[in-house]
Amino acid sequence: MDKNSVVEKTMLAAPVIPVVVIDDIQKSIGLAKALVAGGLPAIEITLRTPNALDCIKAVAQEVEGAIAGAGTVLDESQMNAVEAAGAKFMVSPGASPMLLDAADQCSVPLLPGAATSSEMMALGERGYTHLKFFPAEAAGGANYLKSIGSPLPQFKICPTGGVSLANASAYLALSNVLCVGGSWVAPSNLIEREDWDAITKLAREASQLER
């Protein structure tokens, strides 16, 4: 199975990919279990905390049904670390030539970020058909993605950045959107309190969004 197919399978696992910022390894396990229980198996753990890689490793090894991913991947060293941690996918906010060169050598499939049609076309030249649209709301939102759907129908997109329960449906209704990414299903206050039941409830609500 090629990398685009792996990414598509991940994007189709649920309508929402939770975008998670977490630094506590034990809490990451509880959080992932809650998200999986609510129907959101693909989880993007961003590399924005000192223990993020250990959290990815813990989720990958200890949470049945979870598809552990890494977010905010910016360079080759991070890709190597993410691969060693057992991540099944990785996400970047943008895409530089050096980053894409490194991704070619990494076994973990990359969901690269793009904000314009030119950036998407450049990624298409590198063989990418599945992209992250970031920052979604600031870059034009659902209306922008709708407008490029006809001239660039080959791209399947995950909008992230400013996406919430209130506007997720507008994105998911588009033919070129497979899923959305958002942090609203894993708010920091609920993680801090370890209120896994509340997070499972948010996840279940998100998992039932139509696309």
Which sequence positions are flagged as catalytic?
A: 44, 132
Question: Is-contact 151 102, C-beta < 8 A?
Answer: no
8 Å CB contact between 156 and 11: yes
Residue 172 CA, distance from chain mean position: 15
CA pair distance 121, 171, nearest whole angstrom:
20
Q: Give the three-class secondary structure for 132.
A: strand
DSSP state of 31: H
Q: Where would I find the H helices in the chain?
A: 3-11, 25-37, 52-62, 76-85, 97-104, 117-125, 141-148, 168-172, 188-193, 196-207
